[in-house]
Amino acid sequence: METTTGKVKYVFSAIFVLISHLAMLTNMFYNGNCDPSNMNKFVILAITVIGLDILYFIAMLFFKQSTYTIDFMLIFILNISLIFQSSFGGISLSVKHLVTCIASLISCRLGFILCRNHKWIQAKKKAFYIATGIIMLCILTLTGSRSMWIDLGFFTIQPSEFLKPAFILVCTTYILEQQNKISVWKFNIVPENLICTGFIILICGLQWWCRDLGSLPTFVAIYLCGLCARLCYPKAKLSKKMIITGIASLAVLAITAIILAPPYVKSRLFVDIWNDTSGDGYQQSQALIAIANGGWFGKGAGNGDLHNIFAYETDLVFASICEEWGLFFAIMVVCAILIMLASPLVNPPRSYFHATLATGVCSAFVVQMALNIFGSCNMIPFTGVTVPFISQGGSSMVTCGFMMGMLIAGQSPVFKNPTNNKKKKVKSK
């Protein structure tokens, strides 16, 4: 926060974030299920939300960054999600979601610190290949077709979520790496692109084996966006042949995947939810009824009925928000997330590495949101993917925070050579 004008705009941002949370709490107080018996719970929630806002604003002062808007957007969205999660089925602070929100903010800082110096991180590319390999090995050995979670006693983790930021880092590249080509038969191939393609094939196989097909489109989107960023740099023209070949191969892959899909996936693809409201179409039909019941401004916080349905706070979170807060607020939150993701378009990254990083992060978030929201609205089959920052779930929140840290790193990069401490010590001796 260097200049006076800079400080003023951030003071305004902080004030408006606080005011918007206060407005939501006021709305909850008057329109929600806030009886005198619930007053203590409401006061605790209000103090927590405002306290988290203020604490994060103070914490931001300790991090020297070029831009802070994504930070403000992040706390804006996280506290809105905390208010939503604390209202489902009755007003009471969702301690689990509060803890995961704090974990998400911490992992955001870690992501920022890790990725801000692209020269350093480029030198560590092999370490990311190894890390991705280890996560894949964990998925293969510790989870599987029976369960996607690892039970650690007091909490469970979903390793496939951690694969997302690792794969985004694998998909990042820089121009010099793209110029390093080897000649195979008649083609000039970039080895780094081959490795990236190898990883996506392995991930697809792994997700298929684990029957975690819901997150498969997210990985494919990250890979395709990474590939496009490589092909299109800088402003390269794609020939019609290339575009047609790409679309045709994607269509062939999609058709093959549908033919080879397990029976339970096929049944979900072609299910008529209104003819099977107690079977495969149960969750989606209930979600649609809840969205319709909510209308534009909802039934009021804590007055919904969707909390009786399984996964109301994770997979059905969009429908839960629509029911209690209304379609208008649900769409606004989605727009807020999209605005946060669009900030690299306004303030573009100055390095190719950060540009590919931002592309990966944005594609992952957009596809995840689309899968959840369209799934809730019965436009596509139900996938069980979370809405970033809004759905409950520790692994998802932590990885989303980390990915947002990557995006912030692209906005506040460091253009310095990594310091070599060993050399310094030798020189001092």
Partner 1 sequence: METGNLILCVITAMILDISALVLILSTYFEKLDGKKRWKKIGNDMELVEPGITYALESDEVLIGRHGSVDIRLPDLSVSRYHAIMTVCNGIWTIQALNPKAPILVNGQRISKTKLKEYDVIQIGTYKLQIRKRRRQNGNNNR
Q: Are 148 and 210 in contact (CB under 8 A)?
A: yes
31 sits near partner 1 (criterion: CB under 8 A): yes
Q: Are 128 and 172 in contact (CB under 8 A)?
A: no
Residue owning tokens 């949101």: 369
57 sits near partner 1 (criterion: CB under 8 A): no
Q: Quick one: residue 185, left, alpha or beta (phi over 0 = left, psi -120 to 50 = alpha)?
A: left
User: Which of 58, 236, 259, 426 is the binder for partner 1 (CB under 8 A)?
Assistant: 236
CA distance 183 to 189: 6
266 sits near partner 1 (criterion: CB under 8 A): no
CA distance 245 to 225: 16
416 sits near partner 1 (criterion: CB under 8 A): yes
Looking at beta carbons only, is 129 or 233 nearer to partner 1? 233
User: Which of 284, 286, 343, 363 is the binder for partner 1 (CB under 8 A)?
Assistant: 343
Residue among 391, 400, 396 at smallest CA distance from 312: 391
74 to 113: interface string for partner 1, x by CB under 8 A: --x-------------------------------------
330 sits near partner 1 (criterion: CB under 8 A): no
Residue owning tokens 């899909």: 261
Q: Give me the helix-helix angle, 39-60 and 4-31, nearest 10°.
A: 170
Looking at beta carbons only, is 77 or 206 nearer to partner 1? 77
How far is the CA of 422 from the CAs of 121, 123, 309, in angstroms?
18, 16, 58
207 sits near partner 1 (criterion: CB under 8 A): no
Q: How far is the CB of 250 from partner 1 (least distance, A)?
A: 23
Looking at beta carbons only, is 126 or 237 nearer to partner 1? 237
* Token duo for residue 45: 């929630």
293 sits near partner 1 (criterion: CB under 8 A): no
User: Which of 38, 50, 59, 69 is the binder for partner 1 (CB under 8 A)?
Assistant: 69
56 sits near partner 1 (criterion: CB under 8 A): no
188 sits near partner 1 (criterion: CB under 8 A): no
Residue owning tokens 């107080």: 29
Q: How far is the CB of 233 from partner 1 (least distance, A)?
A: 7
Looking at beta carbons only, is 279 or 295 nearer to partner 1? 295
Residues 392-411 that bind partner 1 (CB under 8 A): 411
List the Cα angle 414/418/423 in 5-degree steps: 155
128 sits near partner 1 (criterion: CB under 8 A): no
63 sits near partner 1 (criterion: CB under 8 A): no
User: Which of 351, 374, 377, 380 is the binder for partner 1 (CB under 8 A)?
Assistant: 351
Q: Are 411 and 348 in contact (CB under 8 A)?
A: no
> Which range touches partner 1 (CB under 8 A), out of 60-68, 105-113, 262-270, 365-373?
60-68
Q: Are 392 and 100 in contact (CB under 8 A)?
A: yes
Q: How far is the CB of 20 from partner 1 (least distance, A)?
A: 4
Residue among 23, 24, 33, 26 at smallest CA distance from 301: 33
* Token duo for residue 317: 């979170």
User: Which of 19, 201, 258, 292 is the binder for partner 1 (CB under 8 A)?
Assistant: 19
CA distance 291 to 287: 6
Backbone phi, psi, residue 182, to 5°: -120, 150
Backbone phi, psi, residue 326, to 5°: 100, 155
Residues that bind partner 1 (CB under 8 A): 2-3, 5-6, 9-10, 12-13, 16-17, 19-20, 23-24, 26-27, 30-31, 66-69, 72-73, 76, 118-119, 174-176, 179, 233-237, 297-298, 300, 326, 328-329, 332, 335-336, 339, 343, 346-347, 350-352, 411, 413, 415-417
